[in-house]
Every structure is written in C-alpha cells, then in structure tokens.
Structure 1
Amino acid sequence: MNWSLLLLFFLLLVLFLKTPGIIRLRSARDAAAFYGIWVLTVMVTLADWADWPQLRPLDWVRSVMELLS
C-alpha cells in the first residue's frame, strides 16, 4: 500500500473523529488552527503523492516547530 494513501486515510479518520470535539469547544481560533493544519497536511500529502516538487509531508512541520521554539 502506498504511504501517501495510508496517510490520507488516517487524516480522514482524524477529521471525522475530532470534528465533534472541535465544534464542542466553540473556539474559532482552535477550529481555524486545527482545520488549517489539517488542510495543509492533506495538500502536501497529495502533492507528494503526485510527485510534484515541494517539501516532504513532515518538512513543513519541522519548519513550523523551529519557528515556535
């Protein structure tokens, strides 16, 4: 099985499991952060699957973590 496809299935599972909790929080900031990171992850995974030139799926996470620390 392709790792990108497995990651996409996992991301869909996370979306379906965590959306009720995010809605229950009633925090626009938390929802924007969750869905923003989720969409960015899906976009990078799809680009990696299509072999487009871009950062690998976890390179951008490392970059963001370096900015935060």
Structure 2
Amino acid sequence: MNWNLLLLFFLLFVLFLKTPGILKLHSVRDAAAFYGTWTLSVIVTLADWADWPQLRPLDWVRSVMELMS
C-alpha cells in the first residue's frame, strides 16, 4: 500500500474523529489552528504523491520550528 494513501486515510479519519470536539469548544482560534494544520498536511501529502520537488510530508514542521527558535 502506498504510504501517502495511508497517510491521507489517517488524516481523513482524524478529521472525522476530532471535528465534533473542535466544534464543541466554540473557539475560533483552536478551530483555525486545527484545520489550518490539517489542510497543510493534506496539501503537502498530495504534493509529495504528485512528486512535486521540494515538498515532502512534514517538511513544514522543520520550517515552523526554525521560525520559533
């Protein structure tokens, strides 16, 4: 099985599992953080699956961590 496909299924599972809890919080900031991170993860996974250069899953985490330190 393709790892990107497995990761996409996992991300969809997380979306369906966590959306009710995020909506119960009534916090726009938490929802924006969750959905923003989720969307970025899906985009990067799809880009890796399409073999676009310089985009690999979770490369953005290193970039964000460099900005924070």
1:51 is paired with a residue whose SS is coil
Q: TM-score, structure 1 length as denominator? A: 0.92
Q: TM-score, structure 2 length as denominator? A: 0.92
- State the percentage of identical aligned residues: 84
Structure 2: gaps (5+ residues): none
Choose 17-26 or 54-63, whichever is displaced more.
Answer: 54-63
Structure 1: gaps (5+ residues): none
* Residue matched to 1:25: 25
Can you list the C-alpha shifts for 1:4-37, whole angstroms capped at 9, x where unaligned? Answer: 0000000000000000010000000100010001
When the two chains are superposed, the root-mean-square deviation of aligned CA atoms in Å is 1.0
CA distance in 2, matches of 1:54, 1:15: 26
